[in-house]
Structure 1
């Protein structure tokens, strides 16, 4: 394989694609994905059902306050959404929010890599 010289590198075509920056929402999405605990919680919503904080805590094996904090980060990341039913807040997967963040991430990766 031929070694690339400085002249070859200078003659390489410049990338015509403008750099894309990730949105704040996509940064929140990536932060939400960074935790193994939040990844476990995400899997609880894989079947499309709704769960309360107490149900998430019980199924994930974590405390109620921890579950509440983790669900808030997942909600800010666009991975789950919530609705109130009386005194209970129910969470479910936010497929549109995840799809939007993934599209933003894909555009970013295509422009930089």
Structure 2
């Protein structure tokens, strides 16, 4: 029996729930990259990057292709880039709201208003 769609979605988002994986997806939005360039941009140990790339590849979010001694990674499709852009827009709104609340608190503190 197939798991419910909401469960599959939760698993998908858990797969994305690691900072290195998110950074890889951000970098790959500009096109395929060799592992050496990902390493240079992300600045983690090779074994850590390899583990995170493997996770993304098993989930079908990225694909890899060997070109001689070089392995290049790419997003599995344009929807992944769309998802990353949507996440950026959502975060921009959420963080803007938080900044607004912080500014209100600072103004209240400046004039001595009770909280």
Q: Into which bin does the TM-score normalised by the smaller protein fall? A: 0.5 to 0.7
- Structure number with higher helix proportion: 2
Question: In the comparison of the two structures, how many residue pairs are matched?
Answer: 79
Gaps of 5+ in 2: 82-115
Residue 45 of structure 1: aligned partner = 28
Gaps of 5+ in 1: 1-19, 100-113
Residue 10 of structure 1: aligned partner = none
1:33-58 CA deviation, whole Å, 9 max, x = no partner? 111221111100111x2112221111
Which one scores higher on RCO, CA 8 angstroms, separation ≥ 6?
1
Structure 1 segments, 4+ long, off by >6 Å, are none
Give the structure-1-normalised TM-score: 0.57
1:35 pairs with 18, 31, 36, which one?
Answer: 18
1:60-93 CA deviation, whole Å, 9 max, x = no partner? 1111111111111111122110111112211001
1:60 lines up with 2:42 in the alignment: yes
SS of the aligned residue for 1:81 comes to strand
Computed over aligned residues only, the root mean square deviation of the Cα atoms, in angstroms, reads 2.8
* Residue pairs, 1:1-113, within 5 angstroms: 21-22=4-5, 29-47=12-30, 49-95=31-77, 98=80
Give the structure-2-normalised TM-score: 0.56
Q: CA deviation at 1:97?
A: 7.8
8 Å contact from structure 1 (residues 82, 91) kept in 2: yes
